[in-house]
Amino acid sequence: MAENITLARPYARAAFEVAVAEGQLQQWASSLALAAALTQNDKVDALLSSPAATAAEKSTLLTELLGETEGTKFANFLATLADNKRLSLLPEISSLFQALKAEHEKVVDVSITTAYPIKDDLLDKLSRALADKLGRRVKLSSSIDQSLLGGALIRAGDTVIDGSVKGRLAKLAEAMNA
């Protein structure tokens, strides 16, 4: 998997640069996400990985399935991927593109998991506090996991804040066993 990410990174950066230059970040993000989803389909994957099909046929097939027009920059991007036998990297390219887009737009996805439902006004306060702390716009999503017992588990990118009772009990048990 790490190798796929390494191979996908230059393609994601190139796609991102083109999308920014054309002012079409959202269109490229949507097209890449759809292309990535299509490559996960067994029938489409079988056609794209078939040694009998040429690179041009593969890129044309994918372009038509996406409803893109031949000759557009996105269609040319798909043709380049097909020529280099990299269509299988579309899920990784899409994921990396989304990360670059979020960084560019100064947006961070934050998930909060609690043992019980949180009131909307508290979620708004938390969202504002995280936006101030992180210096970014926050897209907050919440979920419930009753095994936490109480408190909250907050994930913002690579940052994890574990203020749950379950997490604190685990830390206490670890300290007592050390």
- Per-residue pLDDT of 127-166, as tens digits, reads 898 888 888 888 889 999 988 888 888 888 778 888 888 8
Where a domain ends, among 47, 81, 102? 102
Range of the domain at 26: 2-102
In this structure, are residues 47 and 53 in contact, taking their beta carbons and an 8 Å threshold? Answer: yes
Same domain for 112 and 66: no
Same domain for 86 and 18: yes
Strands (E), 69-175: 107-114, 137-144, 152-156, 159-162
The number of angstroms, rounded, from the C-alpha of 161 to the middle of its chain's C-alpha atoms is 21
112 has which bridge partners?
A: 142, 154
C-alpha to C-alpha distance for 21 and 53, rounded to whole angstroms: 33
Strands (E), the chain: 107-114, 137-144, 152-156, 159-162
Q: Which long-range contacts (CB under 8 A, 24 or more apart) does 132-136 make?
A: 134/108, 135/106, 136/106, 136/107, 136/108
Same domain for 127 and 39: no
Q: What is the pLDDT of residue 2?
A: 63
Same domain for 142 and 62: no
Q: What is the pLDDT of residue 94?
A: 95
Q: How many domains does the chain have?
A: 2
Low-confidence ranges of the chain (pLDDT < 70): 1-2
Question: How many other C-beta atoms lie within 10 A of the C-beta of residue 65?
Answer: 14
pTM listed for this prediction: 0.69
Q: What is the pLDDT of residue 1?
A: 54
Same domain for 13 and 96: yes
Where a domain ends, among 80, 102, 124? 102
Q: What is the pLDDT of residue 139?
A: 87
